[in-house]
Structure 1
Amino acid sequence: MEQYIDFSDKNLLYVAGVTILAPIIWNVLARIEYHTRLLTKLACGNPQLGCYMLAVYIFSFSLFRDYLFDRALATQPVVLKEQYGTELMYVGYTLQGIAALLVLGAYYQLGITGTYLGDYFGILMEERITSFPFNITDNPMYNGSTLWFIGHSLVKCSPAGLLLSLEIFIMYKIALMFEEPFTAMIYAKRDEERKSGKSSSSPTTPSKRKSKKLD
């Protein structure tokens, strides 16, 4: 097994740990914001600025994870490069191209607040997005991110990278188990308030209901 994956490599362990922590931390921060408005208070009462603060943290932490991922692959065994290196490279770059379309398309549709848990700040969208890339997958951010890591692993001919990509996929799925029901609850509560004639004090974007996902 060591000829495929070196489990004693500290770089591998570091990125595996960070991969677990990433969605846990941002979901905890978002729940704290929803229940206490802590980030909004730190942003001088501006929920949009508070969401931007969380976005900067999530984006920066994701870049740090990506750096650790690349560093881990550099110290892991390379497999099948001589036999199928060119083919794997083409497949990998194709997957990364698809990943970029999904992620950038989702960013375009959602904007910053729609992507980075804006609904926990009370920044809600009016309608569910059904155009590309949400007509292909419900979670283009998470699925696109997973595809990018798989593609990068194939380009590097790294079994360890594929294993880490599987871990990333699993952690995203676990995150969705918490995010999707909670998001549904937020919108259901908003709809109930509207039916009962209560005016929500939460800011609302002028269009498109959120169907976010992070990178």
Structure 2
Amino acid sequence: MLWNYVDFSDKDLQYAAIVIVLCPLIWNILARLEYYTRLITKISFGNPYIGCYLLATWIFCFSIYRDILFTRAVNSQKKHSLMLQNESLCYYLGHGLIGIGGVFVLSSMYRLGVTGTYLGDYFGILMDQMVRDFPFNVMNNPMYDGASLCFLGQAIAACSPAGLLLSLEVFVVYRVALRFEGPFTTFIYSQRKVQKTK
């Protein structure tokens, strides 16, 4: 059974699980705070671009910290015996998923740019039109889905049941975040349309 290979008392696992939740929670709180109060823009000398780049830096750094904790948790836990019997298959499958996920993440960042990737719309930095080119013509949320594939790939390559559980947590947390981010982004763009018609 998968659970038998997971040590839930492991601090590395606990910290990773907590930070996985905190990442999108905190950046969504900060983005909403910015939208309603312009606080980050105010402390950025009134420049929304500087504010967005500050938030982008924080999101990027905190995400790297989460990734380090994830790797630490994967490395501190038992490996699954069945996966170890097929270790080379797990290695290639895992790295294949990391590669596919990386393509989705990097290509979506390329299409959106820094401000499009890192919640620039909350700063009033809106794109002229919706991006429909690859990878957005393949999936709606290539950044989050690609990141989820990267975590899953790392867990499979490491033959780690704990990594599989943490990957599932990443996927679920991103799905919850999208339920808040998606409608709010739609609201922001609808407000722009209202202002244009005035």
Pairwise TM-score range, normalised by the shorter structure: over 0.9
TM-score scaled by structure 2?
A: 0.97
Task: Report the count of equivalent residues.
Answer: 196
Q: Which has the higher helix share?
A: 2
Identity %: 54
Task: Output one character per residue of 1:156-186: Cα deviation in whole Å (capped at 9) or x when no partner.
Answer: 0001001000001111011111111111001
- Change in CA separation of 1:77 and 1:118 when aligned onto 2, cut-off 3 Å: same
- Displacement of 1:8 in angstroms is 1.1
Q: 2:171, 2:60 → 1: CA distance?
A: 18
SS class of match (1:7)? coil
Query: Aligned partner of 1:133: which letter?
Result: P
- 1:42 deviates by 0.7
Task: For residues 66-97 of structure 1, give each alpha carbon's deviation from its aligned partner in whole angstroms, at most 9, with x where no partner exists.
Answer: 00000011110101344100001111011011
Give the structure-1-normalised TM-score: 0.89
What secondary structure, in the 3-state scheme, does the structure 2 residue paired with 1:142 have?
A: helix
Query: How big is the shift at 1:126?
Result: 1.0
* Cα contact 1:11–1:75 (8 A) shared by 2: yes
Note the residue ranges of structure 2 that are not aligned, 5 or more in a row.
none
Q: Which runs of 4+ in 1 moved over 6 A?
A: none
| Amino acid aligned to 1:91 | L
> Which residue, out of 124, 127, 151, partners 2:126?
124
1:163 to 162, 165, 168: 165
User: In structure 1, how many angstroms separate the alpha carbons of the residues matched to 2:86 and 2:114?
Assistant: 40
Residue in 2 that maps onto 1:54:
55
Q: Which residue of 2 aligns with 1:210?
A: none
Please give the per-residue CA displacement for 1:11-57, whole angstroms capped at 9, x wherever unaligned: 10010011111111000000010011000011100000000000000
Does the 8 Å CA contact 2:84/2:159 hold for their aligned counterparts?
Answer: no
Q: Which residue of 1 aligns with 2:8?
A: 7
Indicate conservation of the 8 Å contact 1:15/1:72, yes or no.
yes
Q: What value does the CA root-mean-square deviation take over the aligned residues?
A: 0.9
- TM-aligned CA distance change 1:113 to 1:127, over 3 Å: same
Amino acid of the residue matched to residue 156 of structure 2? L
Matches within 5 A, 1:101-120: 101-120=103-122
The answer as to whether partners of 2:34 and 2:41 remain within 8 angstroms in 1 is yes
- Residue number in structure 1 paired with 2:35: 34
Aligned to 2:180: 178
Unaligned runs of 5+ in 1: 197-215
1:6 is aligned with what amino acid?
D
Distance in 2, Cα, partners of 1:82 & 1:109: 39
